[in-house]
Structure 1
């Protein structure tokens, strides 16, 4: 085992206050100990620090439930476009988190799997973002997760254009 030397660094008077003031805007959940780092105006965090003692909750990927029951089963018409599916998926995630006494503000990581719309042969990233920004980066819920969006060949349900999985954190009890 390597020996580790610890040393103290002394800061000039006021430097600690300056460091604390600079760190304050990084965290929308300062009382939970979770620190969210963000750069620019894009509504995702670039990094998140989770305190020791927090509980990590992994939600399985969720797609949209059927939106139009009169449409053919497992068809695009049954589930809607990317924006509609994203909104419905995020609503399902919000409901699952609520059952665990968590909120969308507790989400620290998100993976979004997207399929090109067969009608346009394009990913509808804009439609996904319109739905995403109704849940994240709002005045009501300003906490931003780290996020990755992936283009995939297909999802398990042929009517889905999107599937979302999230990781949430329950802050340690004080």
Structure 2
């Protein structure tokens, strides 16, 4: 026969196991990071291959996709990706995570405004892709945005583990 302490310990272990499984299920899959990278790089690289009219079309497509995502998010009251995966993680705001991501993003934006197009053109020339500076810039932007998003997800996971809310 089990004592109250043993039953409590077993119940606690069951709850912790359930929480771990739920936490793993709520993680973003690897392909989300790939999509962020490909979309960012692709929409920047398209400037090497289309004229101004094509650029307006691409901008319109991006704006349309953003509006659709916003409408779906407002209608479902959750992130569209979370809803599609069937795991609707609680949206939480952790101030120190926001500050860290804002500082890193601000530093990146400052570097971009200071060195962005010239550095990408120089790198494209060094790689032998002188005719494709926007493609090189797109790959760099895609990498930067993907890493910034990954940083925000990692910091939120740390905050959840520490219990910061």
Q: TM-score, normalised by structure 1?
A: 0.28
Q: TM-score, normalised by structure 2?
A: 0.29
| Structure whose CA Rg is larger | 2
Q: Which has the higher contact order (CA 8 A, sep 6+)?
A: 2
Higher strand share: 1
